Amino acid sequence: MEYRQLGRTGVLVSALSLGCSTFGDGTGPEEACAILERGLDAGINLIDTANQYPPVSPGRSEEILGEALERIGDRKRVVLATKVHYRIADDDPNAWGNSRRHIVEQCEQSLRRLRTDHVDLYYVHRPQSSVPIDETLRALDDLIHSGKVLYIGTSTFAAWQLVESLWVARELGLNRFVCEQSPYNLLERRIERELLPMAQTYGFAVVAYSPLAQGLLTGKYDADSLPPAGSRFARMEEFPVMKTRWNPRAFSAIERLRELAADRACTMTQFSLAWCLQQPGITSVAIGPRTAKQLEDNLSSLEVVITDEDGAAVNEVVAPGSMFAPFYKADFGPHTYRW
C-alpha cells in the first residue's frame, strides 16, 4: 500500500480508503467487520463514513463501524473520518446543515455511535450558502480545541468556496480545511478544471469518491438491459438523480473504456480505480465494497500501472475536464450574506 500526505498535515493516509456507506444497507455487521479487517490487513488506514449513512437508516453505518473497530481493536492505526450536513430528522427544521448547533450536536452523536473520543477527520458533507462560512469554521475550530476533532475537511465544495474558507480562516485565526472529498471518475472529470489545480496550489488533500461511478465503471451494466435486482441503478425510481447517469453518452464511453481494460488484461473495475489512483493531485480514492469479494477486486487495482499511452487513450474517449455522467450535486449558489 502506498501512503500519501494528507494535504499540509503530517498525517499519512492510504492511497485507497475504505468508504462505509453500504454498512447497514446491503452489508451487515459480520460482513462489514470482515471487510474492515481485510482492508486494514491490506494497509488501508483511512476509513470513511458519515452520520447520514446509509440514507435508509442514518447513523447505522457509524454504529456498525464503531462496533467493528472495537472488535478488531485497531482504532489507533485508523485515520477515522465522518461527516455532517444532511437532514437527520424530518420534524426538526434545525436537524440539518452547517450551523454551529447542528455541527456540535451531530459530532457528539457520531462519537457515541463510533465508540471513540475523537474523529481524525471531520467533513462538512456539502456547502450551504445560507450559513456564513465563519459560523461553520468557528464551530469546527471549537471541536478541534476540545480534542474531539483533529482535522477538518469538506465534500463537494467548489474551488472558490474553498479559497474563501482559507481567507476567512486566516482573517479570524481559525483552523483551516485540509481536505476536500470530490466525485471523480472516468465519466466525471470536472474537478480537473479548477478544483485540482487550486488544491495543489493551496495544499489541500483531495479524496476521490464514486471512482466507479456507482458501478457503471465495473462493466456489470448493459444499456439495453434492466439493472440487476439489488444493484444501485435498480433504485432509479427512488433516487431520480441516478437516471441522469444512465444515459447513451455514458454507455458509449463505457464500451470504449471496456476495450482499454481488456487490452491491459485487467477488469474494468481495476482499470478505473488504477486510473483514478494515478491522476495528479489525488491523495486517496474511496472505495465502497459491499462484499469482501468486491474488496479483493478493488485491492488488485494497486497492481495495475496506467501508462502514458493508456492515459492518452482515455483522454480520447473522455476528454480532460469533461463529464459524461453527473455526480456533482451541491449548493454552489451565491451567499446570502456579505462581509
Domain range annotation of the chain: 3-317
- Known catalytic membership, residue 53: yes
282 vs 192: CA distance, rounded Å: 10
28 vs 24: CA distance, rounded Å: 6
* pLDDT at residue 119 is higher than 90: yes
| % pLDDT > 90, the chain | 82
Among 102-116, 117-131, 162-176, 214-228, name the one with the lowest average pLDDT. 214-228
Q: How confident is the model at residue 338 (pLDDT cuts 50, 70, 90)?
A: very low
Average pLDDT over residues 26-38: 95
Q: Output the pTM of the full model.
A: 0.93
The amino acid present at 244, given as its one-letter code, is T
CATH number of the structural domain 3-317: 3.20.20.100
pLDDT digits (tens, 9 = 90+) for 75-101: 999 999 999 999 888 889 999 999 999
Per the CB < 8 A criterion, the answer to whether 257 and 217 are in contact is: yes
* pLDDT at residue 337 is higher than 70: no
pLDDT digits (tens, 9 = 90+) for 137-150: 999 999 999 999 99
* pLDDT at residue 222 is higher than 90: no
Residue among 3, 53, 86, 151 flagged as catalytic: 53
Average confidence score pLDDT of the chain: 92
Q: Would you state the pLDDT for residue 203?
A: 97
Average pLDDT over residues 252-256: 94
